[in-house]
Amino acid sequence: MKNLILSAGVFTLLLSSCFFFGCKKDNSTAPNSPGLISVNAKDYLSANNYDKLIIQIQYVNGLQPSAGAVEDLKTFLSQRLNKPGGVEVTYSNINSPGKSVYTINDIRAIESINRGVKHEGRTITAYILFLDGEYSQNTSNLKTLGIAYGSSSMVIFEKTIRDLSGGLGQPSVSSVETTVCEHEFGHVLGLVNNGTGMTTGHQDEPHGKHCNNTNCLMYYTAETSDMLSNLLGNNVPVLDANCINDLKANGGK
Ligand SMILES: [Zn+2]
Ligand SMILES: [Zn+2]
């Protein structure tokens, strides 16, 4: 029994670290997806140029994210974005690209062939790909769960998430999906100091475009017992006041 508890604890600690250690964000100079109009964080946050958002959820067959996670993401975005025309989601599926390991170039190539939504008129779009393999930069004890790799493009390593969640002593699959999706979309919204300026200094600079508040959704890692219990309770971290203030100052709410 002791071994069981210990192993569950170690596994959860590893997973919680992976959320944020494993998150990578190309900086704002990352090229846009092929054929897409260049958009920036403010285009998502304010209604000046775009008043509606359509998110394309594209998944490899069998790896559709849970409905609850997608609803949570929609709610999260509706609370922060000025999109009077609403936030909508479309689903589409693709056959497996056939790899067990994917590079960013592989992921960009999949998007360029399969992305169906393009910014048009006053509708801005985002693309989230749910993949069946792991990230090429993973190590034996550091697994990437999601990457915001373009100004409107994110990948979620759904197979990795399912491998590491949903079991005894682990957070639920949907709570991990929600956390990773919202964290990556946070980068697309310009957090932290990633296209949306800071109203108060709160960037954890040694860890890139992340927040220095250990309880914030945009914190780079989660190593405390508080976070473990949050995850075990399936409580998805939320944005702290500094991150919300930044979004408000750049056209969000
Ligand atoms: Zn991140
Ligand atoms: Zn924050």
For residue 245, give the amino acid letter: N
How far does residue 21's CA lie from ligand 1's centre (Å)?
Answer: 8
How far does residue 192's CA lie from ligand 1's centre (Å)?
Answer: 9
- Residues 6 or more apart whose CB falls under 8 angstroms from that of 160 comprise 134, 135, 138, 143, 144, 145
How far does residue 2's CA lie from ligand 1's centre (Å)?
Answer: 34
Query: What's the pLDDT score for residue 34?
Result: 55
How far does residue 1's CA lie from ligand 1's centre (Å)?
Answer: 35
Are 63 and 158 a contacting pair, CB within 8 Å? yes
In the structure encoding, which two tokens stand for residue 43, read together? Answer: 């285009």
How far does residue 161's CA lie from ligand 1's centre (Å)?
Answer: 16
Domains defined along the chain, listed by start: 13-249 (3.40.390.10)
3-state DSSP of the chain: CHHHHHHHHHHHHHHHHHHHHCCEECCCCCCCCCCCCCCCHHHHHCCCCCCEEEEEEEEECCCCCCHHHHHHHHHHHHHHCCCCCCEEEEEEEECCCCCCEECHHHHHHHHHHHCCCCCECCEEEEEEEECCCEECCCECCECCCEEEEECCEEEECHHHHHHHCCCCCCCCHHHHHHHHHHHHHHHHCCCCCCCCCCCCCCECHHHCCCECCCCECCECCCCCHHHHHHHHCCCCCECCHHHHHHHHHCCCC
CA atoms within 13 A on the CB side of 251: 19
How far does residue 213's CA lie from ligand 2's centre (Å)?
Answer: 6
Peptide bond into 238 cis (omega under 30): no
How far does residue 242's CA lie from ligand 2's centre (Å)?
Answer: 6
Neighbours of 98 (CB within 10 A): 8
Q: Which ligand approaches the C-alpha of residue 216 most closely?
A: 2
Per-residue pLDDT of the chain (253 residues; tens, 9 = 90+): 333 333 333 333 333 333 443 455 444 334 445 567 789 999 999 999 999 999 999 999 999 999 999 999 999 999 999 999 999 999 999 999 999 999 999 999 999 999 998 899 999 999 999 999 999 998 887 788 899 999 999 999 999 989 888 888 888 899 989 999 999 999 999 999 999 999 999 999 998 999 999 889 998 863 222 333 455 567 889 999 999 999 999 999 9
Q: Which ligand approaches the C-alpha of residue 188 most closely?
A: 1
Q: Which ligand approaches the C-alpha of residue 246 most closely?
A: 2
Cα separation, 197 vs 50, in Å, equals 20
CB neighbour burial string for 189-199, b if at least 16 within 10 angstroms, e if fewer: bbbbbbbbebb
How far does residue 101's CA lie from ligand 2's centre (Å)?
Answer: 31
How far does residue 71's CA lie from ligand 1's centre (Å)?
Answer: 21
Query: What's the pLDDT score for residue 165?
Result: 86
How far does residue 184's CA lie from ligand 1's centre (Å)?
Answer: 6
How far does residue 152's CA lie from ligand 1's centre (Å)?
Answer: 15
Global pTM? 0.86
For residue 124, give the amino acid letter: I
Q: Which ligand approaches the C-alpha of residue 184 most closely?
A: 1
How far does residue 23's CA lie from ligand 1's centre (Å)?
Answer: 4
How far does residue 207's CA lie from ligand 1's centre (Å)?
Answer: 9
Q: Which ligand approaches the C-alpha of residue 217 most closely?
A: 2
Residue whose tokens read 């769960």: 145
